[in-house]
Structure 1
Amino acid sequence: MKGLLTLDVKLGMRSYVHPVYLLVALAYGIMLAVLPEEYLSKAVPLFLILEPGMVGFAFVGTEIFAEKKDGVIGALAVTPIDWRDYIIAKTLSMMALSLVAGAIIFGLGTRSLSGLPYVLAGTLLLSAVYTLLGIAVSAKYRDLDDYFVPVLGVMVVSLLPFLHHYGYLTGGVWRVLYLIPSYPALYFFKAPFEEISTNTLLWSALTLIIWSGVAYNLARIRFYRYAVEGLR
């Protein structure tokens, strides 16, 4: 696991995925810093969902494509590696990266660290879900052009809970959006700005943990089928 984590960081730096990820977080933080304070309670949660969620989903796919192209996955396939460890290592490295990005966005955007533990907890859980989903989905594709449609679909679906929560989507039918992982994460990102009950946060954490389990199994099955065995 230590070797896989080291390899993932090296490949992420070599392909510029990790530096660009942090630069995006820096850009988000600067954009939030110039906003009037009254807009931060809505804008900061939105940008936090974008970074560890949708941006992470896209970037982990980019890493998978780079490793396919460079022959890394093919080289690892002839070693006694457990692909479960490969998936976990990649998820852990993206989670660590997302924690740094989340801290940058929140710290720069609010010019305060009050409530940061809530943000880091939500970022950690949401990053795990979207990284695993990104591995599962990207495993079947060969380049970013093909991956663009799933990324766009995830972006649209992940933003719907935000619109529902703030009253832009009304009606009982929209309650189905509670099942989307960005919705429970939204409560963690709102906690620094308003009172969120402990029960709500606990249920949100449980929902994201369940999502992580589902996403992990999807990633494990699809990655081995498409990336390792090369099935189309």
Structure 2
Amino acid sequence: MSVGRLVMLDLKVGVRGYVYPIYLLVALAYGLMVKAFPESYHSVVIPLFIFFEPGLVGFMFVGTSIFAEKKDGTIGALSVTPIEWRSYIFAKTLLMLVVSLIAATLIMLIGTGSLEGLSYVLIGTFLVSIVYTLLGIAISSKYYDLDDYFVAILGVMVLSLLPYAHYHGYLTNKIWKVLYAVPSYPGLYFFKAAFEEISTDILMRSGIGLIIWSVVAYYFARIRFYKYAVEGLR
């Protein structure tokens, strides 16, 4: 089965199970929440909400999707059917990417009433969504219970939000420079570029950093998904 057909199948299942409609409703809620803030705060809250949507919410949603497909035997069937399990990973990532781009656009349009700077936001969303979707696949593959996965979600959430605290001057010790290696940090520069001047050099380095993270996350997802989800090892 091709990646395109897998995407359409996953979309039908996700819509039937209200996964993707809920995902977009969350984006709508974020956009409405932004309107409650004065315009001077948009450069702070919008990058945070946009990251939550393609990043952390996507990370959680792809994990719950994999849990559901483990229980109904969809993933287990990959080991005995002609479906290429790598195509499954690509299909999941592609669908979450498209939904994330729509969600980011909704947040910008509803929250600001404008699409100015949207190109930066979409580039950042594109890269961040790939990284966190692949990480979600990689990490959730080992778990069979949402309660266990919740611990991983909290860990990823805390680590991913620390760069925002560092960027805004709350973590000043030099040791916190290690946070530049967290994928949410380069994503933050793209989201901030819609509201303030960010040099081309920084954006280029941020883009390269996220591409490297994408490669690492894919490698991580490929190994763990096959080992724990397809083969069913624990």
Q: CA deviation at 1:162?
A: 0.3
Deviations 1:160-204 (A, max 9, x none): 000000001111100000000000000100011111111111111
- Cα separation, 2, equivalents of 1:15 and 1:68: 15
- Cα separation, 2, equivalents of 1:3 and 1:228: 20
Q: CA deviation at 1:85?
A: 1.1
Residues 176-187 of structure 1 correspond to what in structure 2 (within 5 A)? 176-187=178-189
Q: SS at 2:135's partner residue?
A: helix
| Structure 1: runs of 5+ lacking an equivalent | none
- Cα separation, 2, equivalents of 1:76 and 1:33: 45
Worse-superposed segment, 128-137 or 104-113: 104-113
Residues 63-74 of structure 1 correspond to what in structure 2 (within 5 A)? 63-74=65-76
Q: CA deviation at 1:15?
A: 2.2
- Cα separation, 2, equivalents of 1:203 and 1:189: 14
Match of 2:121 among 102, 113, 119: 119
Residues 32-111 of structure 1 correspond to what in structure 2 (within 5 A)? 32-111=34-113
Deviations 1:115-167 (A, max 9, x none): 00100110010000000000000001112111100001111000000000000
Residues 12-27 of structure 1 correspond to what in structure 2 (within 5 A)? 12-27=14-29
TM-score, structure 1 length as denominator? 0.98
- Count of aligned pairs between the two proteins: 232
Match of 2:199 among 188, 197, 209: 197
Contact conserved, 1:15 with 1:63, CA < 8 A, in 2?
no
Worse-superposed segment, 181-190 or 15-24: 15-24
1:139 matched to which residue of 2? 141
* RMSD, matched Cα: 0.9
1:220 matched to which residue of 2? 222
TM-score, structure 2 length as denominator? 0.97
- Cα separation, 1, equivalents of 2:146 and 2:22: 16
Worse-superposed segment, 105-114 or 67-76: 67-76
2:155 matched to which residue of 1? 153
Q: CA deviation at 1:5?
A: 1.0
Letter in 2 for 1:62: T
Percentage of matched positions with identical amino acids: 66
Q: CA deviation at 1:19?
A: 0.9
Letter in 2 for 1:205: G
- Cα separation, 2, equivalents of 1:14 and 1:227: 23
Q: CA deviation at 1:76?
A: 3.1
Q: CA deviation at 1:25?
A: 0.5
- Cα separation, 2, equivalents of 1:144 and 1:16: 18
Q: Which runs of 4+ in 1 moved over 2 A?
A: 74-77
- Cα separation, 2, equivalents of 1:101 and 1:10: 18
- Cα separation, 2, equivalents of 1:13 and 1:182: 28
Q: CA deviation at 1:74?
A: 2.2
| Structure 2: runs of 5+ lacking an equivalent | none
